[in-house]
Amino acid sequence: MTNNIYFKLLAFSICFFLLHYFATPLMGDFYHIEGIHRIHLFLVIITFVFFIIMLKIKSSYPDKFGFAYLASVFVKMVVVVVFLAPLIFGEKGITFNYVTHFFIAFFIYLFVEVYLLVGSLKK
C-alpha cells in the first residue's frame, strides 16, 4: 500500500512539474520565472521525506499521528523559510513572482499530501 502512495505522489509531482514548466511561459512575461525546476525539486524532496516519516509514525504510533502531522508541517514551514531566505536576501534577490510561484506550488503539494494521508488513514 505504501508503494502505491509513493507512486501516486511521484506521478503527481512529474505531472505538476511538467504542467507548471510548460504553462508558465505561455501566460506571458509577468508570470514567467527562472528556476521552476528548483522549486519543484525542493518540494518533491521535502514531500517524500515527509511521507516516509509520517507513514513510519502511522505504523509505530498511530495515536500520535495528528500531533506528528502538525509538528511536521511546522518543521516543513521552517525548512521553507531556510530555503527562501538566501534567495530573498541574496545579492540579486528574487522577484515577487518567484515567491508567488513557490507558495502556490507549496500549497498544492500540501493539499495533495493531506489527500493522500487521509486516504491512507481510511485503509
Task: Please check whether residue 109 is in contact with residue 47, taking contact to mean a CB–CB distance below 8 angstroms.
Answer: yes
Residue reference for cell 513572482: 97
Q: Whole-angstrom distance between the N-terminal and C-terminal Cα of the chain? A: 9
CA–CA gap between residue 59 and residue 119 (Å, rounded): 15
* Residue 49, amino acid: V
- Count of other CB atoms within 10 angstroms of residue 64: 12
Give the number of residues written for the chain.
123
pTM of the model: 0.82
68-100 confidence digits (pLDDT tens): 889 999 999 999 988 888 777 775 666 677 788
pLDDT tens sequence across 7-45: 888 899 899 888 888 877 766 665 656 778 888 899 999
SS (H, E, C) 13-29: HHHHHHHHHHHCHHHCC
